[in-house]
């Protein structure tokens, strides 16, 4: 009989582990029953009673028509009270975009081979040529310190924006644009942002949420013909007015209105809108010639239908329209891209100004949500990666060139630690960009993943730039042409705040949207209840129960086995990371379901819990991106150290997020049971250790190819320009002089030369014949270059008064 019980347990666990919940129950029960009978424990009568009960249970739970009438019809009203009710704006936001790899992570059983087999389209030859040609030419003409002092881009830079059609990256060629891929857009913005945040923001906004994007997807053909070519060529400068004093994060609460009315124009009765608005924080508004406006359309006289409040609508309004007030500037952290308010007072526009005309009435919120699903994935993540790659490039060079105590500062562990964080985070951020843009370029619009990319990459930028400022120390806080980092530091809060503040994105959008949209069954349950569809609800709810049961078994077994029972894709040196992520994905699934089940609709208000669940999902995705990048790229020792650093950081942060939910879940019984399931042997993931961090830091200092690969999107200015250009030139000279310095140090250790600082040691070496005159000159040239790049800017007092 004990053998029968053992067999039952094996059947139960294997089937449950593989995702067959009800089959697991039935299989295990059947084996127990047979063993019970064959073992002589049960009488024939008892056997018949238990067998009959088992058959009845199998029929009730296994046959959908019976189950629906006996169970689901009574459960459905209970769930209707627990599950959140969705308003129209919430429903539209939740349905925007598509579900992609985030769905696998929510399932608790990600198919890793599917991810590794995914082929992200590379840059086309045309896109690569544009990046290497016009984009580099554009960057070469920008003097970012001059941009700060003049508080604007130069006239030459503005003309190049037009000449290179940089406002038309997303606009198809047939309308005068480039029709570039998402990856190309991202890499272009990344390169420009490594040179100038002001220029990058100016270029990226018209290619993100704005008139061009909305016209492309929702405009009539007449509207496309009228506006897209002038937008691509920079004849029209667009802005999009969404945020107002009363409607920030809750943009749907806008009080801007457009009232439908008729007016006599040139002797003809024309249908149009009388609009009023008050908007702020609008990028490019001060120089915009074409305003995209989001407002609530109202039809009190029922001129276009029976419904009075038609909802959020978008329209295009020329700057010179009577009643438009525009031109004032905000000052966002001193970064001088154009940003400002706009006000409209009794602005009358014809009805054909509505994007999509009648088809666009009331569909503005859907347009915005669907556009943001893609836009969040590109612009701000690209700007963040530009800052991170620039910081990696600067700090890798500076930590080699800058010496203290006769040693490059990169050799000190105190510098090594933040340098490893800078390089590791840059690798992780770029990997996330590559995977996300790859999804966009095959037709996905991953709304949740886009929000993750926006929130967590802009936040990572904050960490990277902070570490870079620490490494550069005093030279990082002295503003001037030499100091690029200070201007990146100013821009950090902007990326964190715009296109959905990170606090809101983390605590409400990522998990709130993900829990409903990405979960295999929750959205189906809500839809079935809303449609009063018992059949659909029955399939969804029992699928959900099966999911919870099987993932609980899976999480427990993976935890007990150190994740070793998880299947792995065809990999060599990273297999254990896939196993650990599979384990944490299953843990995330059951913890997420338990939080939803015990808190119900109240989970929307428990933002600390939903924020931690968002952290877990986000770092599962970032780790996936790092592993995908390592799989796709050359297997170098530098890349191996970087992927280890990245994934181990993500594993630790997922673990800490899950522990945070368990510690704060109001239902303590459920939290206790889950703790035993998820962490039966304790929490053992740790951040990357010093050995891995040291390896990453040394690679950035010593492996020139690794540093170049990690910062491939950075624009490197000419050697005669202050900042990164001069620093790179000094690095080249310092590296070339290293063998000569080694000869001098060896001579000192051998007792052939006395110890002496810098140039004095060079003189002694030359006099003693340790080095030649040519070596002496090269060494002094390197020392002079080092001395130059560690200098900081200083200004005449009168000039200083004029600085911005």
The residue among 74, 73, 97, 94 whose CA lies nearest residue 84 is 94
The 10 Å Cβ neighbour count of residue 600 is 14
Q: Which of 213, 236, 499, 775 is labelled catalytic?
A: 499
Distance between CA atoms of 174 and 186, rounded to whole angstroms?
22
**H-helix or E-strand containing 566?**
none
Contact (CB, 8 A) for 693 and 645:
yes
Tell me 46's DSSP state.
H
Which residue in the block uniquely carries the two structure tokens 């580099």? 136
Distance between CA atoms of 765 and 250, rounded to whole angstroms?
70
Bridging pattern class, strands 407-408 and 309-318: unpaired
CA angle 685, 687, 689 (to 5 degrees): 110
Distance between CA atoms of 496 and 462, rounded to whole angstroms?
8
Bridging pattern class, strands 407-408 and 403-404: antiparallel
Contact (CB, 8 A) for 384 and 457:
yes
Contact (CB, 8 A) for 207 and 283:
no
Q: Give CA separation, 489 vs 153, 461, 468, 495, 582, in Å.
A: 19, 9, 10, 11, 37
Which residue in the block uniquely carries the two structure tokens 């943001």? 372
Q: Give CA separation, 465 vs 164, 380, 423, 592, in Å.
A: 30, 15, 11, 33
Active site residue 261: no
Task: 1-10: list long-range contacts, CB under 8 Å, 24+ apart.
Answer: 1/35, 1/36, 1/38, 1/39, 1/41, 3/35, 4/31, 4/32, 4/34, 4/35, 4/36, 4/38, 4/39, 5/32, 5/35, 7/31, 7/35, 8/32, 8/35
DSSP assignments along 153-188, one per residue: --HHHHHHHHHTTGGGSSS-GGGTS----HHHHHHH
Q: How many CA atoms lie within 13 A of 801 on its CB side?
A: 2
- Return phi, psi of residue 119, to 5°: -110, 105
Residues annotated as catalytic are 499
């Amino acid at each position: 009989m004990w053998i029968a019980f053992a067999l039952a347990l094996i059947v139960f666990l294997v089937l449950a582990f593989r995702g067959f919940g009800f089959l697991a129950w039935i299989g295990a029960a059947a084996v127990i029953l047979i063993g019970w009978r064959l073992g002589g424990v049960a009488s024939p009568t008892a056997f018949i009673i238990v067998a009959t009960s088992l058959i009845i249970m199998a029929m009730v739970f296994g046959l959908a028509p019976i189950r629906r009438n006996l169970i689901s019809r009574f459960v459905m009203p209970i769930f209707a009270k627990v599950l959140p009710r969705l308003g129209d704006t919430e429903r539209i936001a939740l349905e925007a975009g598509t579900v992609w790899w985030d769905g696998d992570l929510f399932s608790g059983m990600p198919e890793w081979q599917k991810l590794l087999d995914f082929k992200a389209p590379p840059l086309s030859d045309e896109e690569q040529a544009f990046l290497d040609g016009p984009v580099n030419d554009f960057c070469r003409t920008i003097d970012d310190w001059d941009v700060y002092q003049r508080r604007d881009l130069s006239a030459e830079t503005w003309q190049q924006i037009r000449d290179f059609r940089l406002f038309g990256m997303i606009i198809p060629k047939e309308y005068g644009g480039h029709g570039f891929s998402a990856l190309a857009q991202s890499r272009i913005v990344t390169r420009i942002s490594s040179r100038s945040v002001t220029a990058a923001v100016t270029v990226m906004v018209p290619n993100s949420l704005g008139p061009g994007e909305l016209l492309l997807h929702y405009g009539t053909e007449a509207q496309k013909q009228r506006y897209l070519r002038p937008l691509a060529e920079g004849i029209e400068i667009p802005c999009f007015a969404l945020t107002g004093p009363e409607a920030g994060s809750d943009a749907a609460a806008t009080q801007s209105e457009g009232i439908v009315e008729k007016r006599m124009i040139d002797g003809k009765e024309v249908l149009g809108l009388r609009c009023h608005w008050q908007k702020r924080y609008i990028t490019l508004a001060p120089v915009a010639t074409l305003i995209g406006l989001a407002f609530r359309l109202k039809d009190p006289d029922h001129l276009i239908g029976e419904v009075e409040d038609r909802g959020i609508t978008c329209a295009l309004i020329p700057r010179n329209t009577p009643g438009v007030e525009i031109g004032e500037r905000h000052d966002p952290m001193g970064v001088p891209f154009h940003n400002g308010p706009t006000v409209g007072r009794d602005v009358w526009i014809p009805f054909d100004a509505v994007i999509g005309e009648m088809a666009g009435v009331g569909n503005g919120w859907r347009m915005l949500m669907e556009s943001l699903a893609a836009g969040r994935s590109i612009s701000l993540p690209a700007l963040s990666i530009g800052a991170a790659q620039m910081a990696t490039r600067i700090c890798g060079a500076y930590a080699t060139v800058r010496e203290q105590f006769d040693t490059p500062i990169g050799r000190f562990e105190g510098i090594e630690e933040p340098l490893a964080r800078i390089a590791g985070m840059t690798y992780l951020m770029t990997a996330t960009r590559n995977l996300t843009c790859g999804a966009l370029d095959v037709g996905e619009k991953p709304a949740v993943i886009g929000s993750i990319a926006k929130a967590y990459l802009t936040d990572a930028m904050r960490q990277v730039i902070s570490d870079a400022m620490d490494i550069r120390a005093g030279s990082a806080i002295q503003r001037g042409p030499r100091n690029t980092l200070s201007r990146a530091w100013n821009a950090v809060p902007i990326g964190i705040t715009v296109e959905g503040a990170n606090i809101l994105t983390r605590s409400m959008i990522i998990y709130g949207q993900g829990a409903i949209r990405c979960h295999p069954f929750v959205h189906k349950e809500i839809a079935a209840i809303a449609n009063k569809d018992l059949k659909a609800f029955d399939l969804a709810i029992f699928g959900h129960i099966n999911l919870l049961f099987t993932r609980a078994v899976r999480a427990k077994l993976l935890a007990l086995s150190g994740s070793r029972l998880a299947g792995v894709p065809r990999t060599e040196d990273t297999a254990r990371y896939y196993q650990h992520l599979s384990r944490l994905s299953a843990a995330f699934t059951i913890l997420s379901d338990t939080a939803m089940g015990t808190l119900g609709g109240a989970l929307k208000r428990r933002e600390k819990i939903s924020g931690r669940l968002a952290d877990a999902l986000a770092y599962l995705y970032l780790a996936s991106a790092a592993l995908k990048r390592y799989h796709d790229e050359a297997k170098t020792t530098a890349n191996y150290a970087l992927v280890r650093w990245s994934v181990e950081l993500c594993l630790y942060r997922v673990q800490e997020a899950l522990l945070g939910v368990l510690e704060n879940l109001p239902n303590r019984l459920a939290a206790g049971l889950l703790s035993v399931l998820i962490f039966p042997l304790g929490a053992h993931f740790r951040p990357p250790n010093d050995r891995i961090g040291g390896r990453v830091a040394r690679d950035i200092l010593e492996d020139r190819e690794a540093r170049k690969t990690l910062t491939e999107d950075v624009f490197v200015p000419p050697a005669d320009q202050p900042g990164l250009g001069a620093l790179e030139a000094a690095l080249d000279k310092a590296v070339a002089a290293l063998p000569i310095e080694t000869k001098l140090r060896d001579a000192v250790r051998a007792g052939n030369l006395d110890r002496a600082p810098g140039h004095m040691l060079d003189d002694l070496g030359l006099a003693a014949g340790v080095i030649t005159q040519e070596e002496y000159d090269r060494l002094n040239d390197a020392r002079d270059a080092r001395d130059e790049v560690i200098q900081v800017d200083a200004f005449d007092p009168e000039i200083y008064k004029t600085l911005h």
